[in-house]
Amino acid sequence: MTIIDVVILSLIEGATEFLPVSSTGHLILTSALLGYGEDPFLKAFNIIIQSGAIMAVLVLYWRRFLPNLPFYSRLAIAFTPAAVIGFLVKDKIDAILGASSVSIVAWALIIGGIVLVLTDSERFRGRSDKADVVDFSFARCLALGVLQCLAFIPGVSRSGATIIGGLWLGMNQKAAAEFSFFLGVPTLLAASGYKILKLIRSSGGEGPDALPPLDGHHWFLLGLGIVLSFVFALIAIRFFMALVQKYGFRHFGYYRIVVGVAILTMVYGGWL
């Protein structure tokens, strides 16, 4: 892995982690285009640099993460389904679907894009009246957490599922986007921590998924990736919120559809 690869992957992670376009799907596609395939260090890199994107949310919204029982109680309820279901069946889902299947990513992008375009309509905008997560009932937070579990399918997009769910359940566009950011913090921390532990256990072992011993160069690449992911995520979140409040989410839906069709064209054309 070169520094240019680090910049590209960090840009994709930081710019797409909190947008409804599937950062995982983009990283899988980019890794395939770069020719890395199932490289164990690349898997670890893509997981670890998520910490930079998480820090961006904490920096931009630090006031929201101050002690606040109504906020944290709802966040905990929304996080619980992903924690439980992820622990029980995430590995099985990856084994069945193929964690890095480019075709699955493409179809998920297309279907999710269509749903996002249909959801971002005047009908949903007109009925969305909840301005903050603390206005939500515990039942709605739980429902939103269940919808987040759709993101176990590569290409669906965790933020896309929660934003769509938020709009369906009565949030306005700003609140749906921000709650997606907030819910991403514990979800990504838990998912990343679990995957990192699995990688550490495989470190120095044998087999295609075993993580090789890390040297100074590897640690430099990881540190650079975290910093770049943090910077790119800061910019992306600011841009995203300004765009959403002015134009809504439908343009991200169109983008998903175009990218998904392009990927399928490359796959079935033998170019990918």
Q: Residue 128: which pLDDT band, with cuts at 50, 70 and 90?
A: low
Q: Residue 26: which pLDDT band, with cuts at 50, 70 and 90?
A: confident
- Other CB atoms within 10 Å distance of the CB of residue 95: 10
Q: Residue 89: which pLDDT band, with cuts at 50, 70 and 90?
A: confident
Q: Helix crossing, 50-60 with 216-247: angle to 10°?
A: 50
Q: Which of 265, 269, 268, 259 is nearest to 116 (CA)?
A: 259
Residue 31's H or E segment, with its range, is helix 23-34
> For residue 124, what pLDDT is reported?
56
CA distances from 5 to 100, 102, 205, 216 (A): 18, 19, 26, 17
Question: pTM for this one?
Answer: 0.87
Give the integer Cα–Cα distance in Å for 5 and 146: 35
Query: Does the pLDDT value for residue 134 go beyond 90?
Result: no
β-sheet bridge partners, residue 171:
130
Give the integer Cα–Cα distance in Å for 77 and 143: 9
Give the integer Cα–Cα distance in Å for 264 and 272: 9
What would the pLDDT profile of 211-234 be if each residue is shown by its tens digit?
677 788 989 999 999 999 999 999
- Greater pLDDT, 93 or 65: 65
In Å, how far from its chain's centre is CA 110? 16
Q: Residue 207: which pLDDT band, with cuts at 50, 70 and 90?
A: low
